[in-house]
Structure 1
Amino acid sequence: MPDEPQAPRELWPEGIGTGVGSLPGTDPVEASALVTGETPELPAFPELPDRGVGADMIGRATGLLVDLAVEVVPTGWRVTARRGRDLQRARDLMAADLDAFGDACDRTRPSWVKVQVTGPWTLAASVELASGHRVLTDRGAAREFATSLGEGLRTHVAEVAARTGAAVVVQLDEPTLPAVIAGSLPTASGYGTVRAVRAPDAQEALRELIDGIGAPVVVHCCADVPPIRLLAGTGAAAVGIDATRPAFTGTVPDGRAASFASGAEPAALDAIGETWDAGTPLLLGLLPGTEPRPEPEIGELARAGFELADRLGFDRQRLARLAVPTPACGLAGATPAWARRALGLSRDLGHAFADPDM
């Protein structure tokens, strides 16, 4: 059995669940009431991409940048010389979201809240330079974006803390990081690929950003095969993954997910075990992003978590500290009913992890 993990920095309570970020709909007041009601111990600041430009994950991140301006062009977000209406819209939407979230937290008084923002590598891969090439192709520009994002995040965290009266956890979303490291992103012409970033360089840039934020940071990657070891080595307080991917569950002939114990790839299990052994928790995405048929039962979901602990040789009593259940990824594509149910199941699953004798 692995040694007792090192005690992590003071974090959220054990036995809780939370959301990943995005939700369906366009009403920030309704969304804030939902997250504070269904996941009161760690509500995730809602993201509502259905509102369009500026509400998408890239737009929200660019709205936090300091001394950098972007605009929307037919191919996406692009660096520009001065701030225009697209960037202003992103900031206006964020301000309205903060008002709604602050009001909801005034009523529910959470001790912890979580905010989400696109991480520096996914941002650099998604925004274009004035030339039309990805920011990622210019390493100096990529560093400038990371520095600007860090500065904006520090201000954002301070404002969220002041509005909510809660401690703030920052989630850096890096869904594109595996492609950045693999060098598989296409160039602007489509005839080549962008030069890969060395994994140690990607890790070091994340570490520098995390060190400067001044709040606990979760690095979240919902790719098929997230680089768990790389993310855990950034100094992050936790790592978030989509645990419904075949690398973690395998599949059975009819397409249903198998259990961790029977289906997960050994390399994926090893990475989780090493991360837990170092005392780093996982935000474990176990609830599908759209409504499944049939709906999973809480006992079935809890068994998946306990089987993971069993397979890796960890006492089940430690699961509530080492895993925070969440939806697999964002819920923007879900129905409002399933978004509410998924958050509620995440909360109930966290409570179940705290009671292994259920």
Structure 2
Amino acid sequence: MRITASGSLPGDDFRGALTAMAELLPDVTPLPELPARGVGSQFIGRALGLIDGLGFDLQPAGWRLTHHPSADQRRAAAQWRRDLDDAEELLQGFDGTCKVAVAGPWSLAASVERPMGDRLLADHGARRELAQALAAAVGFLRDDIARRLPEATVLIQIDEPSLVAVGAGRVPTASGFSRHRRVDGPELVAALAPLAAGAWLHCCAPGAWLDVARRAGFAGAAVDSRLADLDDLAAWLDDGSALVLGVVDTAATMPQGVDDLVREALRVLRALQVTPGDGLLLGTACGLAGWRLRDVPGQLEALSRAAALTDEALGRG
């Protein structure tokens, strides 16, 4: 059984992190996300650095839509260029899967402010424009990486931690005294569908969201094994879609042993009566940026051993 990780890591050494990921996760290698480098490398700023045609600046309350790109947005874009240059150099001849994670349109809309205040989520036109600009940016990113790494398979992972909250009307307004109106399923799907072809959707929040991923057309989903609903997982797998089962509890911020990981994987997979195949992977529930750097390699090595033992326990290998 193959393994992977979400991509968010501690530290600020991109070249070192990418080299380590290529060694520890050679089949599905995440392009490292390093939030410790600053706002342009953090979840929201990193995605905004990809977008062309819309401007954003950084305010005390967070990122805000503006008429022109700010110095902060330009620095985020420059960081992408440096990272991709390094990846092109370090991954020459790489013929595995390079997985690149980007914040999704609903998490961006729930976080970025309008020029006049409150979130873009409150403005139908603005959130639609943001989703369209993001889809264009991700398409360009995919093509750019494919050009730089011609032997690799490029896999986009759309990270949507706010998806469930947006759909349930649980995103607070700027005042904190109210909540933004819920977004209906068809609109959730419409914003995600242009990003879905051949991509994975990742959400580490509790709640039902796999049906949105299915309707949008995502090829795979990455779930936290401790939060996932077994019926939803069964329906997802019945469609033949790829699944990353996040058995490493990243919220614990401490290493988990091989036996614990195997136990968690079998708890879910035996209940689903799953036979491991190429579309089933073990991974991390979410990112590892909050972990101690020295703990990460050992945890990923334990995940690799757990995947082999899970295969054996389920009758494969």
TM-score of the pair, normalised by structure 1: 0.83
Provide the residue aligned with 1:117 in structure 2.
102
Which residue identity lines up with residue 149 of structure 1 in the other structure?
A: L
2:286 maps to 1:323: no
> Structure 2: which amino acid aligns with 1:122?
S
1:302 and 2:262 correspond: yes
Q: Which residue is equivalent to 1:24?
A: 10
Number of aligned residues: 313
Aligned equivalent of 1:253: none
Give 3-state SS (helix, strand or coil) of 1:65's partner.
Answer: coil
**1:274 paired residue among 215, 218, 235:** 235
Distance change (3 Å), C-alpha of 1:234 and 1:351:
farther
SS in structure 2 at match of 1:106 = coil
Specify the alignment match of 1:292 in structure 2. 254
* Aligned counterpart for 1:333 among listed residues 273, 287, 290: 290
In structure 1, which of residues 238, 257, 263 is the aligned counterpart of residue 220 of structure 2? Answer: 238
* Aligned partner letter, 1:301: L
Give CA deviations for 1:129-170 in whole Å, capped at 9, x if unaligned.
Answer: 101121111111111111101111111011111222211110
Aligned-partner Cα distance in 2 for 1:131–1:69: 14
* 2:62 alignment counterpart: 76
Matches within 5 A, 1:1-358: 15-106=1-92, 109-165=94-150, 166-211=152-197, 216-245=198-227, 248=228, 268-289=229-250, 290-292=252-254, 295-297=256-258, 299-314=259-274, 318-355=275-312, 356-357=314-315
Q: Quote how far apart the aligned CAs of 1:90 are.
A: 0.4
The residue type paired with residue 180 of structure 1 is V
Counterpart of 1:55, as a letter, is S
Pair 1:353–1:99, CA change in 2 (3 A): farther
Conservation of the 8 A alpha-carbon contact between 1:17 and 1:326: yes
* One-letter amino acid of the counterpart of residue 114, structure 1: K
Give the Å deviation of 1:226: 4.4
How big is the shift at 1:306?
3.2
Amino acid at match of 1:125: A
User: CA separation in 2, counterparts of 1:303 and 1:191?
Assistant: 43
* Paired residues of 1:269 and 1:312 also in contact (CA < 8 A): yes
Structure 1 residues 96-116: Cα deviation after superposition (integer angstroms, max 9, x where no partner): 211222222126x13211000
In 2 relative to 1, CA 40–308 (structure 1 residues): closer, same or farther, beyond 3 Å? same
Matched with 1:260 is none
User: TM (normalized to structure 2)?
Assistant: 0.93
Q: In the aligned structure 2, how far is the partner of 1:76 from the partner of 1:155?
A: 26
Which blocks of at least 5 consecutive residues in structure 2 are unaligned? none
Q: Deviation at 1:238?
A: 0.6
Q: For 2:51, what is the secondary structure of its paired residue?
A: coil
Q: Deviations over 1:256-286 (max 9, x none)?
A: xxxxxxxxxxxx1111111111111211111
Deviations 1:272-329 (A, max 9, x none): 1111111112111111225436x322x4423432342321233xxx323342111110
CA distance in 1, matches of 2:35, 2:236: 32
Q: Does the 8 Å contact 2:63/2:112 carry over to 1?
A: yes
CA distance in 1, matches of 2:180, 2:292: 36
What's the CA shift for 1:57?
Answer: 1.0
TM-superposed CA distance for 1:191, in Å, is 2.1
Aligned partners of 1:40 and 1:110 also within 8 Å: no
Q: Distance in 2 between matches of 1:50 and 1:300?
A: 29
Q: Distance in 1 between matches of 2:262 and 2:223?
A: 17
Q: Distance in 1 between matches of 2:195 and 2:84?
A: 23
Divergent runs of 4+, >4 A: none
Q: Distance in 1 between matches of 2:149 and 2:160?
A: 26
Q: Does structure 2 conserve the Cα–Cα contact (< 8 Å) formed by 1:16 and 1:320?
A: no
**In structure 2, C-alpha distance between the alignment counterparts of 1:325 and 1:228, rounded to whole Å:** 17
Q: Determine the structure 2 residue equivalent to 1:8.
A: none
Equivalent residue letter for 2:143: A
Larger displacement relative to structure 2 (184-193 or 67-76): 184-193
| Farther-moved stretch of structure 1 (305-314 vs 320-329) | 305-314
User: What SS does structure 2 have at the residue aligned with 1:88?
Assistant: helix
SS of match in other structure, 2:135: helix
Q: Distance in 2 between matches of 1:336 and 1:135?
A: 35
**Structure 2: distance between partners of 1:327 and 1:19:** 5
